[in-house]
Structures are given as C-alpha cells and as structure tokens.
Structure 1
Amino acid sequence: MNAAEAPVLRVEAKKNTVLQSHGRRPWYGEDGKPFSEAFVIGIAGGSASGKVIFSLYIVAVNAENLAMHNVDTRRPADCSDSFYKTHTPQELKLAFENNYDFDHPDAIDMTMFAACLNDLKACKQTNIPVYSFKEHQRLPETKYLYGAAIIIAEGILALHDPSMRALYDLKIFVQCDSDLMLARRIRRDVSERGRNVEGVLEQYLRFVKPAFDNFVGPSSKYADIIVSGANNSVAIDLITTHIRKKLQDRSRHIRPKIARGLSRHQTGVHTPGTTIDMLDISVIKKTPQLEGIYTILRDKNTTRGDFIFYADRLSTYLAEMAMELLPFKPKSVETPVGAISHGKELDAPFICGISVLRSGGSLERGLRRVLRDVAIGSLLIQTEPKSGEPLLLHAMLPNCVKFRHIAETSWVFLLDAQIGTAAAAMMAIRILLDHGVQEERIIFITFIVALDGGVSVLRKAFPKVRLVAGAVDTKLQIGWLDGKEDEGRGRDVWIIGK
C-alpha cells in the first residue's frame, strides 16, 4: 500500500451545518468512576520497517469506523524514540561521532515509558518527553497527551520489556526485508535527521544490525500478530475489525442511568424526598433584585443586548459567591496613615476556570471581573444525536491542569449555564479528576439546576465537589429543535423551566 492509496477526507463548507462528530464517549459509570481502560496496541519491528506508517494506515484506512473511538489521526503513536535518556556531555560527544548505541535497551528510559503508558491506559493525562534527533538530546519541554480510547505505542523495542508487554491489549510485530529497511533508514536519516550516508552505514553495521539480531528480532515471539511492512492492507482490515469488536464489548450507555425517571421529567415532578439541602447545593439568597434578573432572562421578549447584560450581572454574583469557598489566610498590612490592618488573603497557589462550551462562556466574564487575570480553559462536550450520550470533542486546558503536580494543588471553577441531565457536568468533572485535580477543589458554577434532572446522581458520584447555583427548578422537560432533522428524526433538547 502506498500513500496514493490512503483515503482522502474532504469537508465541504456549508452555512449552518450541524456537525456529526465522533468524540470520546463516556469511559466511566454513573458512579463517576472509570469502568474501562484505553485499548493499548504495541507495535515493534526493525528500524525503518514501517511501524509508524502501519499505525497511520490503521487509522486512515478505517477513519470512519475508528474515529468514533477517538484515535488521534494526526499521530496516533506514542513513539519510544521520545523516551531516550538524557545524555551526558560524554555521551553527546559519542552520539555526534555516530559511536553511541541508540538501539540498545539501556538507551531508552523504559521505566518512564511504562509509567506514561500506564497513565494513558488508565484514562489519565500524561506528559511525555520531546527528543531532538538533530541535537541528540531530550528537550526541556514535554508533550501533553490525554483522551484517546486507543493508544498505539511503537518502537523497535516495544515488545522487549516485560513491564511494557503487560500493558498491551494487542501486540504486533512488523516484519520487513533487511535491504528495504536499510534503504528506508538511509533516506530518512539523511533527509530528516541531518546525517550523512557514511555515518548512517557505520551506525547501522555497528549498532542497528546487532541490536535487531539480539533484541528486536527475538521479541517477535511475544507478538499476537506478525504483519508485513510492505503490503499490509489485509492485516489492517483484520486488526481494525478486532479493535472495533473489543471496544464495543467495553462500551456502556450511562445516560439512562443519569437521567433517571424520564416520565417524571416529562411531567415535571421531582424525585420524592429530594431537597436542595440533601444535594448540598449553594444557592444565591432570593431577593427582589435577583428575581427581577431571572424574570428578564426567562422572558422570551427580552432583547439580545438586555439578555447579555443581565446574564453578566448574574454571573458576577455567582462568581462572588463561589469565591467564598476558596481558602483564605490571615494577612496584616500597613495603611497609608501608618496603622496596621489585619485582614485576609487568598491561600490558593493556582486558580483557573474551565468553561463547558458553549453555554459556559456566559459565566466567563463574571469570573474575570471577580478574579483578575484568571486563566480560563474550555471543554467542548456535545450530545450524540442517536444515543444521547455525551461526547468529548475537544479539551483546551490551562497549564495548571495539564501538569499533574500542579493540578493536585489547583482550585478550578467549572462553568456551565445549567445542569439538566448532568451528563456534560459529570464528564467535565471526570476529566478534571483524570488530570489530578482534587475533587474537593472543584467548584461548579451554574445559573440554574433542575432538581428533577441528574443532579442527584452527580452529587452521589462526586460528593466533595462544591456546587454554586443561581436558582433551582423542579421541572425538566424535553423539547425539539425546530428546523433540523437527523436521518428523519427530530433532535431532542433538554429544557429547564417552570
């Protein structure tokens, strides 16, 4: 198979098109805990045998089928080359002289490789090293990875280490003719890595060939499947079918369990015995002014400008109330007249906001007014039309959440306009927990909560998350989005209102 045979995906621009996306489906149950791990594939083979190309073809040829399981089509492989150890000045000198053995198992930090892969398999975030082949050194920056249901780890020694093999759900060895591998290596190293032909040949004879004979080739006995590195279209089809079946076996629908008692939602009768106090929801004290704001926001005749203005006012109230849940410590200051005043200051090393798009954006301005220069990220979560399950389409998170050692000490304001079925809210909280954010340091800010929705399931799953709301309604009803049809069916929208 060559590059010309790979499928080309075209998207034609059309105004007001409803996107049919294939995001990450729930990987957790109604209790908020993960019920399945990512599917991990280990791909080994000789240098330049076609491991990366094989990985890309698995995705490209079957993009429509595998996209629904969220494979990163840009680069689906977690390459072992990223985990070369940091080199000493003496090792760097040998590397530039082509006298360093990069193909020996000792050259790769297998402990870090296994740790990062284990995090991804457990649906957690990880940061992998970035290695420069031109500088022969690991760079200071790292690459952030999170959210794929399928992980492909490839490298010449991917099947060599027992700790790595224990993490794979499928082990593949790519076999290729030695002459073809040498030709590919020469072309790659000269054009992409700034080497010369003489140096490539010397390194191949001294290190690459012996490493293949001693370590790489023998590891093929651990493979579940051995495929050709030249023509592998049949193998790709078989492997894709196997992956799809395994993922379907692991799938679970949680929406019916979150949005329980659909008949009660339609009639607007909340679950007997459920109260705001029982659900531990902090609600703004009702005042004539607050009721007036909500009346304006609910009025169908309210103009767009008035709606935005009063939504901003309400978001500021909510942000002020949420700030009271942050930790403060005593602080004494000297006033301009020389007196000592005893007060408080924030005792939170890192604070950020994360908006659940698009409705969460209406709360961002209020948070910025209350907390100056606060970093705000976003999560794009959309409902799948057929099943109603939430889909994670995109995550753009602040650095205080991307790095776990920082996330563990960070406070996060999670912003969403409403909590109805609570499906998006549950996914957003689960994402933060996967990054290491402590449950008790998550403060969920929302305009309105449906007492008859999935909030009770949400509170049971995440009891330590603080929930700040402007109002609580007891009615959750289903409406239809007029003017849009999906394969002959209307698209349901959850609506909160009295």
Structure 2
Amino acid sequence: MSGPSFAIGIAGGTGAGKTTVARTVAETVGEAVTLITLDNYYKDRSQLTFEEREEINYDHPDAFEWDLLREQLDALLTGQSIEMPQYDFELHNRTDERVTVEPSDIIILEGILALHDEAIREMLDLRVYVMTDADVRILRRIERDVVERGRDLEGVIDQYLETVKPMHEQFVAPTKKQADVIIPEGANRVALDLLIEKIQSELSDDSQRPDDADRERSVADQSMD
C-alpha cells in the first residue's frame, strides 16, 4: 500500500448489479483492490436447525453481524489484515472457514445494505447506489438462486414476495439518499465509466484523502445494536 486505503461502499437491491459494478471497478482502476462482500457477515446460526435457518429473514438488517463488520473494515483501513468469515448459501449458515484478507489501496464493501449502518458509512470515502428495475432484479434473483445456489423456484418466489420486496422498500431503497453516486440501469457502461473516472480522480487528489490518524476511531463507541 502506498498510503491510506480508499473505501467504497456499493449498495442496491438484490440483483441490481452491485457485484458487476464492484468487479468492473476492481478490474479497471489499476490499483490493488480488496473486495468485502456483506453476505459473509450474516450472523452465525449454528445453534439453529436447518429448518429454522430457512425461516430467517435474511434481508433485514438484524440478520447481519454489524459489530464484526465495523471492526474488520476499520482494521483494513488502518493497515491490518483480517480473518473474514465465509457464508454458505445452501446451508444458510457460516462455514468453519476463514479467509485472510490483506489491506490494499482500495477497499470495496458490496451488499444490499452496504450503506445502512451509520458508523460504516462514515468509514467510506465514496458511497454508491446501484438502481435497476424491480422486474429485472427479480429475474436475476431467480436465475442466481435456482441455478447457482440450488434452490427451488417456488421457494425463491415466496421469499421474494414475503421478505425481499418489503425489506427492499423499508431498508434498502432508503439508503439511496446516503449515496454520493447513483448508477441507473444496473451496470450501465456510461455510468460505470464516470464512476471509475471519479474514483481515479479521488485517488490522485491526496489532499482529499484522510491519513491513518483520521481513520483510527473507536468502533466500539459507534456500535449499534
């Protein structure tokens, strides 16, 4: 690392294209990039049966272990490595595996609620919200969950109607107001190019980048239940 990390948060509804945006940024900016996926910070539910875990509302903010995410994001931004948890979507639970993640010039936090937590928002240098039509998002969600995660179609549709859609309206969509940049139509190429240009401009402007002393804050003091 040549200096303090530049932190980017990318939020948006399920199937909006957040991961595509994050990967495009990572492949294009020409800097070392660390990608943190919010999904890996779902709470450990080992004490519950598989059937009980299936009933959890995974689109509610309470499904995530925010304290751990704050602690680990803060560690990366102050030049420390972390042991990031891993999540298994078929088991609806964390695995025993941990992945060592090293700090880098750019840290990207990507997830539906990446802009939800105030303490985390304050750690971010750039906040991005990806907007995509709801019909497109549900089709992408169905394809991902059925094809990639082995779930049945009826279960995916039921989950979308019962929890995903209402949680999007209540918790995800409002975080658009917290964004510095809004990308319409998912991975819109023109908008992506403008975003990458903005990131490169920010990186080249040392006067706008905080030093390590500014990064060091008491995460515990900012913890939220």
TM class by smaller structure? 0.7 to 0.9
Percentage identity across paired residues of the two chains: 38
What amino acid sits opposite 1:158 in the alignment? A
User: How much does 1:188 deviate?
Assistant: 0.3
Aligned pair partner of 2:7 in 40, 44, 50? 40
- Tell me, in whole angstroms, the C-alpha distance in 2 between the residues paired with 1:120 and 1:90: 31
- Whether the 8 Å contact between 2:183 and 2:192 is mirrored in structure 1 is no
Q: Does 1:93 align with 2:45?
A: no
User: How much does 1:89 deviate?
Assistant: 4.0
Gaps of 5+ in 2: 208-225
TM-score (norm 1): 0.40
User: How much does 1:228 deviate?
Assistant: 1.8
Q: Does 1:130 align with 2:97?
A: no
Structure 2 partner of 1:486:
none
- Tell me, in whole angstroms, the C-alpha distance in 2 between the residues paired with 1:70 and 1:126: 16
Q: Return closer, same or farther for 1:91/1:46 CA change in 2, 3 Å cut-off.
A: farther
Q: Return closer, same or farther for 1:227/1:116 CA change in 2, 3 Å cut-off.
A: same
What amino acid sits opposite 1:77 in the alignment? L
Structure 2 partner of 1:149:
105
**Structure 2 counterpart SS, 1:211:** helix
- Whether the 8 Å contact between 2:45 and 2:93 is mirrored in structure 1 is yes
User: How much does 1:231 deviate?
Assistant: 4.8
Q: Does 1:208 align with 2:170?
A: no
Q: Does 1:57 align with 2:15?
A: no
Structure 2 partner of 1:81:
39
Q: Does 1:245 align with 2:201?
A: yes
User: How much does 1:91 deviate?
Assistant: 5.9
- 1:271-309 CA deviation, whole Å, 9 max, x = no partner? xxxxxxxxxxxxxxxxxxxxxxxxxxxxxxxxxxxxxxx
- Whether the 8 Å contact between 2:88 and 2:95 is mirrored in structure 1 is yes
- Tell me, in whole angstroms, the C-alpha distance in 2 between the residues paired with 1:105 and 1:250: 34
- Tell me, in whole angstroms, the C-alpha distance in 2 between the residues paired with 1:113 and 1:229: 28
- 1:70-129 CA deviation, whole Å, 9 max, x = no partner? 12xxxx521100000011444632333xx2200000000011111111111112111110
- Tell me, in whole angstroms, the C-alpha distance in 2 between the residues paired with 1:94 and 1:228: 37
What amino acid sits opposite 1:192 in the alignment? E
**Structure 2 counterpart SS, 1:166:** helix
- Whether the 8 Å contact between 1:54 and 1:229 is mirrored in structure 2 is no
What amino acid sits opposite 1:144 in the alignment? T
Gaps of 5+ in 1: 1-23, 28-36, 252-498
- Whether the 8 Å contact between 1:44 and 1:158 is mirrored in structure 2 is yes
User: How much does 1:147 deviate?
Assistant: 3.4
| Matching of residues 408-419 of structure 1 within 5 Å | none
Higher strand share: 1
What amino acid sits opposite 1:59 in the alignment? A
What amino acid sits opposite 1:51 in the alignment? K
- 1:400-422 CA deviation, whole Å, 9 max, x = no partner? xxxxxxxxxxxxxxxxxxxxxxx
- Tell me, in whole angstroms, the C-alpha distance in 1 between the residues paired with 2:156 and 2:49: 18
RMSD: 1.6
- Whether the 8 Å contact between 1:91 and 1:100 is mirrored in structure 2 is no
**Structure 2 counterpart SS, 1:183:** helix
Q: Return closer, same or farther for 1:162/1:230 CA change in 2, 3 Å cut-off.
A: closer
User: How much does 1:59 deviate?
Assistant: 3.0
- 1:187-210 CA deviation, whole Å, 9 max, x = no partner? 000111110000001111111011
- Tell me, in whole angstroms, the C-alpha distance in 2 between the residues paired with 1:199 and 1:95: 14
- Whether the 8 Å contact between 2:46 and 2:93 is mirrored in structure 1 is no
Higher relative contact order, structure no. (Cα contacts within 8 Å, ≥ 6 residues apart): 2
Q: Return closer, same or farther for 1:50/1:231 CA change in 2, 3 Å cut-off.
A: closer
User: How much does 1:246 deviate?
Assistant: 2.0
- Tell me, in whole angstroms, the C-alpha distance in 1 between the residues paired with 2:35 and 2:103: 14
- 1:305-355 CA deviation, whole Å, 9 max, x = no partner? xxxxxxxxxxxxxxxxxxxxxxxxxxxxxxxxxxxxxxxxxxxxxxxxxxx
- Which structure has the bigger radius of gyration? 1
